[in-house]
Structures are given as C-alpha cells and as structure tokens.
C-alpha cells in the first residue's frame, strides 16, 4: 500500500499512484497476438500459342495421250527451241538464332535455423535448496557513501557486475517490448512470494501491452531465467497468487471470474508444469451462510502471504458499498485445512480493502491495520483482540517472523507512533517496536518509495529493502540531493540492501538504477518502484528497473520508459 506524507520544509508531496496501495482491483486477460493477414495472390497470364503453318499440296497426275490415226506426212514444222528453265536462286540457309545463355538460378539464401527454445530446467519433487551462508562475500560498508558509477543498461540475458558493490552480479531477465510487446515486466509486489520453494521457477507480471501484445502472469526458469509460459490464472489482484512452501509445482489463487452473471469465488490450485487445476474450496456457501451479498469477489485485502503453508487466510467478500473510498469487503478469517470461517471481534465487519485483517506468517492469528489510530491490532485464532502495537500499518510493509518464530511487521514509518525510519520492526508477539535504519540510528529522515520484503522465508529474520529516494544520490550528512551532482554517491538512495532484523546488521548490495518512481517527478510511475522479491534462500533478489540512472551524473526520469526485471545475485549464490 502507499501513503504519502510531508516533512515540513523538506519533502515534497509524493505523487499518488495509479493503483491505490499495492495493486488495483481486477485484472486483465492475456491479449492474443494479431494474426497475420494473408496476401492476395496474382493469377498467371497464359502465353499466346504460336500459329503453325503447313506445307503446299502436290499436283494431280495427267491421263496418257491415245495413239492417233495415221495421216499423210505433213510438211514438217520446225521444232522451236525450248525456252530454258531458269536455274532457281537457292534459298539461303537462315542464320540460326543463337541459343541464349540461360540466366543462372541464384543460390537461395538459406533460411536461418531458429534458436531453439531452451528446455525448462526440470522441477525436482522437493523444496530443498543448497545450504549457504547468506552473508558470504558481502562487505559491511556501514553508513559510508558508495560511488554511483556509470553502467549501461545490460542486454537481456547479460550478467554484469555491479561496479559499486563488488561481488554482486546483475542479470537482466526481460525485454518486455521485444518479448511481449508490453511496456512492463516486473515482480508483482514485495509481499508476494515470486519464487517457488526450490527456486526453479518464478512469476512476473507483464502489463502495458501494445496492440497485439501480451500481458498476464509470466513464468520463468529459475536457473536459466528463460521465459516458459503465461499461466492461465485470474486472481482478484495482480499480487494475489501464492506458491506452496512444500510443493514446487503448486500455486494457489482465488478465481475472480463471472460465469453467466454468477460470481466465481473458488480457491484454486494449479500445477504450473501440467496446467491441471483443482478446486480447493468454494466460498459461495460460506458467504451465503453469513447472510452477505454474493455479487462481489472473495479476495484478500493487502496481499500478504498466508499463515503457515497456505493454511491461514485473511479475506473479504465484496458486493457492498465502498469503505473509506476503497473497495468494501465483509472481512473474515479462513483456515484452508479445516474450512473454518472466523469473524473478528471488536472491529466492524465491513472493511476497506486496505484495512482487511491479514494472517500472521506463523499461522497463529491475524493483524488489522487501524488507520484511524495509526496502530496495528493483533487477533488470536478465535478472532479476539490480543494486543495493540504502536506501529502504523498504512505504509509499504511485509509480515515476517524472526529467528525465534515471533510474528513481525517490517516496514517504513513516516512520523509514526514509534518514530521514523526506512526499516522499522514491530514485534506482534511482544508489542515492541525497534529501528534498524531510521532517524534514531542517525540515518536521516526516511527516503520515499521504500519497499521491504521478507520473502527469504528459509532464513528467518532476513529481509530485503529497495529504495528509490533521490535519483541524484545522497549527501554527506545522510540527506538526499535534489539535482544532478558531478560526483554522485549514495547511502540508502537508489540502493538495494539486505538486513537482519534480529541483529540489526545491514549489507548494502546493489544499485537498482530505477528513477521513474521519484516522488518529486512531475509524473510518478508506479510500475518503476522497487518491488524487491528475494528468493527463499535469500541469495537472489528480483527487482524491476527503468534503468534511468545508467549515468548517475545525468539521470533520465521518464514516466513512460520501459520497465524490465533484473535478478540481483549475491556472492553466496552459486549457479549450477
């Protein structure tokens, strides 16, 4: 979700984005490519046939002359000298027409052999990933400014080293314009687990299709980064798909279609390799049993991962008027293993999409963003209030667990009830709020457009953070530049970091170079924000970028620039 604040005399108003929170309502079907139009053929013209001339006819033979009756011998008449028959002039033999030299048939240009589509890496039956030390090869730069060097936008498939963070490699995964005739290919959102459990597959969202282009949920090979296929799913929002933590082929979503005017509200499971889909639960009887309208979708509000392994869900049923200017939902908790529906005590049933209670990652209850009081309310599995935590859940944040298994919220706070910081932590089990990166740690006022993910669920306590901040880099006193400088450097601005919320250690690992979501830009591009999405092991991070900061001395801030996805490979990642 997004909200925007002013720091008096310091920050400009952050522009609102096209999708309130972390995605709009509804989705778009895949656009099929245009079929080629067949050309009109030209009929062959028949050649004129030659006239064949025949030869002359022969003369008929003469009858023989009969023998005459003898008569007296007459005076002989002298025989005239016969006129000689002239010798005919011979007809000259015509000069033969030379046989023309045939035009040689040109050697045809060989048809290029198309590059074969690589065979996807087979998916193993387990969720095992190599055991690694996440921090291996990383350098703790503390709060020291890092150089912000030139780096040309890599070609798709190219692996380059980040010049400012040695040991980190960046691989461009997509070329949305060339591959899909679309303007955006991105990780859906930081709270969405983009990778499957053994990191052999990941899903991106493709949008902004041109005429004849494609858009939807695109699956990629987690080893080669090659595109595999679009998934035939239709969740209520672009972020609301959920990988299993125990089956690398299993993905779950709630269907968001109508059939003959009837709303479909079924929880579906798809095997992403075979395409086979299975109905896990139909919410229609549940909604009817509550006496609620059946004319709206069943969906999550804020797209947090479910509690446990696709077990505990925080959902709502639509078909009611808007609440606080957002889609209205009758909120309820749902246990997918038992089928139990839970109503929450102490809060209205009708909630705005953004305030619909969400599951704790441990599966031990739910949390509710109390926007009016800028706090977070925690419920147990019976829907009863356990405690209120002084943490404003209106900002970009993610649910998490620490090394002890305690439930957390990790996110940014702008003048929140417990302070301000780019990375603050609310312990929902104890109510304590702490700062990892923030004003109390000497880090300056929190930069805008900060997104945090706890998707590295195999290494509890570790989170990833991406910050747009200022495209012009940072100042020596932990502030941000507001115009180009001759020697750009960064601390927090334009950086991707990983942090351990238990120990407080922070490693700055890369520059993402995306500028379009700069809060002070005349037009703010939602799609260019940093949806950092770590893999389950934490060794790789998906992030989108418009690469407007190829040259940090002269950033390009273009709200219409194509947005592609890159993989940040930490030194601990070893391709195999």
Contact of 45 with 554, CB cutoff 8 Å: no
- Taking 70 as the threshold, does the pLDDT of residue 30 lie above it? no
- Taking 90 as the threshold, does the pLDDT of residue 543 lie above it? yes
Q: Cα dihedral angle (140, 145, 150, 156), rounded to 10 degrees?
A: 40
Using CA atoms, how far apart are residues 307 and 399, in angstroms rounded to an integer?
A: 10
More confident residue, 75 or 324: 324
- Taking 90 as the threshold, does the pLDDT of residue 193 lie above it? yes
- Taking 90 as the threshold, does the pLDDT of residue 255 lie above it? yes
Query: pLDDT averaged over the chain?
Result: 86
Q: What are phi and psi of 401, to 5 degrees?
A: -135, 150
- Taking 90 as the threshold, does the pLDDT of residue 523 lie above it? yes
pLDDT at 117: 58
Using CA atoms, how far apart are residues 327 and 344, in angstroms rounded to an integer?
A: 19
pLDDT at 119: 84
More confident residue, 229 or 125: 229
pLDDT (tens digit per residue) in 387-410: 999 999 999 999 999 999 999 999
Is pTM beyond 0.85 here?
A: no
- Taking 90 as the threshold, does the pLDDT of residue 45 lie above it? no
More confident residue, 240 or 109: 240
- Among candidates 394, 410, 407, which has minimal Cα distance to 534? 410
- Taking 90 as the threshold, does the pLDDT of residue 457 lie above it? yes
Using CA atoms, how far apart are residues 350 and 373, in angstroms rounded to an integer?
A: 18
pLDDT at 280: 98
DSSP per-residue string spanning 390-428: S--TTSSEEEEE-TT--EEEEEEEEEETTEEEEEEEEET
User: What average pLDDT does this structure show over 530-552?
Assistant: 99
Contact of 394 with 402, CB cutoff 8 Å: no
Using CA atoms, how far apart are residues 224 and 156, in angstroms rounded to an integer?
A: 12
pLDDT (tens digit per residue) in 137-190: 999 999 999 999 999 999 999 999 999 999 999 999 999 999 999 999 999 999
pLDDT at 13: 36
- 338-346 long-range contacts, Cβ below 8 Å, gap at least 24? 339/281, 341/286, 341/289, 341/290, 342/381, 342/382, 342/383, 343/383, 344/368, 344/379, 344/383, 345/379, 345/383, 345/384, 345/385, 346/377, 346/384, 346/385
Percent of the chain with pLDDT over 70: 80
Alpha helices in 188-340, H assignment, sequence order? 284-289
pLDDT at 426: 99
- Taking 60 as the threshold, does the pLDDT of residue 524 lie above it? yes
Q: According to the 3-state scheme, what is the secondary structure of 250-261?
A: EEEEECCCEECC
- Taking 70 as the threshold, does the pLDDT of residue 353 lie above it? yes
pLDDT (tens digit per residue) in 458-484: 999 999 999 999 999 999 999 999 999
Contact of 445 with 7, CB cutoff 8 Å: yes
Q: Where do the domains of the chain lie?
A: 140-190+396-576, 229-393
pLDDT at 415: 97
Chain-centroid distance of CA 55 in Å reads 83
- Taking 90 as the threshold, does the pLDDT of residue 439 lie above it? yes
Three-state secondary structure call for residue 107:
coil
pLDDT at 125: 81
pLDDT at 455: 98
pLDDT at 7: 40
- Taking 60 as the threshold, does the pLDDT of residue 11 lie above it? no
* C-alpha atoms less than 13 angstroms from C-alpha of 521 in its C-beta half-sphere: 28
């Amino acid at each position: 979700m997004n909200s925007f604040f002013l720091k008096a005399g310091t920050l400009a108003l952050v522009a609102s984005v096209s999708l309130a929170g972390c995605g709009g309502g509804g989705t778009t079907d895949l656009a099929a490519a245009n079929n080629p139009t067949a050309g009109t053929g030209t009929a062959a013209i028949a050649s004129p046939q030659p006239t064949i001339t025949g030869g002359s006819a022969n003369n008929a033979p003469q009858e023989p002359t009969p023998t005459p009756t003898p008569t007296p011998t007459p005076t002989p008449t002298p025989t005239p000298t016969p006129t000689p028959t002239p010798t005919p002039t011979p007809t000259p033999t015509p000069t033969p027409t030379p046989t023309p030299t045939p035009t040689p048939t040109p050697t045809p240009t060989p048809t290029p052999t198309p590059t074969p589509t690589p065979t996807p890496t087979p998916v193993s039956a387990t969720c095992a990933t190599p055991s690694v030390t996440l921090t291996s090869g990383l350098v703790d730069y503390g709060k020291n400014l890092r150089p912000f060097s030139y780096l040309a936008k890599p070609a798709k498939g190219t692996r380059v080293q980040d010049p400012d963070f040695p040991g980190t490699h960046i691989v461009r995964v997509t070329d949305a314009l060339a591959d899909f005739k679309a303007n955006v290919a991105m990780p859906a959102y930081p709270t969405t687990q983009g990778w499957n459990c053994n990191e052999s597959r990941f899903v991106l969202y493709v949008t902004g299709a041109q005429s004849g282009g494609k858009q939807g949920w695109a699956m990629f090979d987690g080893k080669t980064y090659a595109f595999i296929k679009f998934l035939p799913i239709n969740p209520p929002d672009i972020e609301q798909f959920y990988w299993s933590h125990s089956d690398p082929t299993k993905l779950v979503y709630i269907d968001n279609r109508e059939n003959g005017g009837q709303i479909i509200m079924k929880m579906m499971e798809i095997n992403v390799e075979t395409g086979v889909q299975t109905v896990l639960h139909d919410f229609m009887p549940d909604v009817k049993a509550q006496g609620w309208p059946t004319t709206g979708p069943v969906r999550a509000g804020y797209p947090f991962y479910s509690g446990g392994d696709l077990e505990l869900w925080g959902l709502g049923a639509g078909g009611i008027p808007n609440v606080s200017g957002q889609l209205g939902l009758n909120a309820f908790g749902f246990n997918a293993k038992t089928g139990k529906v839970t109503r929450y005590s102490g809060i209205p049933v009708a909630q705005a999409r953004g305030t619909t209670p969400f599951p704790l990652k441990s599966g031990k209850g739910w949390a509710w963003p109390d926007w009016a009081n800028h706090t977070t309310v925690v419920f147990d599995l019976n829907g009863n209030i356990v405690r209120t935590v002084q943490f404003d859940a209106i900002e970009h944040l993610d649910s998490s667990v620490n090394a002890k298994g305690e439930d957390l919220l990790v996110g940014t706070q702008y003048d929140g009830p417990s302070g301000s910081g780019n990375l603050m932590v609310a312990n929902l089990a104890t109510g304590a709020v702490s700062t990892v990166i923030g004003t109390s740690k000497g880090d300056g006022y929190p930069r805008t457009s900060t997104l945090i993910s706890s998707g590295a669920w195999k290494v509890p306590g570790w989170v990833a953070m991406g910050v747009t901040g200022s495209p012009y880099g940072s100042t020596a006193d932990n502030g941000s530049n507001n115009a180009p400088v001759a020697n750009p450097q960064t601390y927090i601005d334009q950086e991707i970091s990983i942090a351990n919320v238990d120990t407080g250690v922070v490693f700055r690992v890369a520059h993402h170079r995306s500028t379009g979501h700069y809060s002070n830009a005349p037009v703010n591009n939602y799609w260019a924000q940093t949806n950092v999405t770590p893999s389950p092991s934490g060794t790789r991070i998906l992030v989108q970028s418009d690469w407007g900061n190829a040259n940090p001395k002269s950033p390009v801030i273009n709200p219409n620039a194509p947005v592609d996805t890159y993989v940040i490979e930490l030194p601990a990642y070893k391709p195999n």
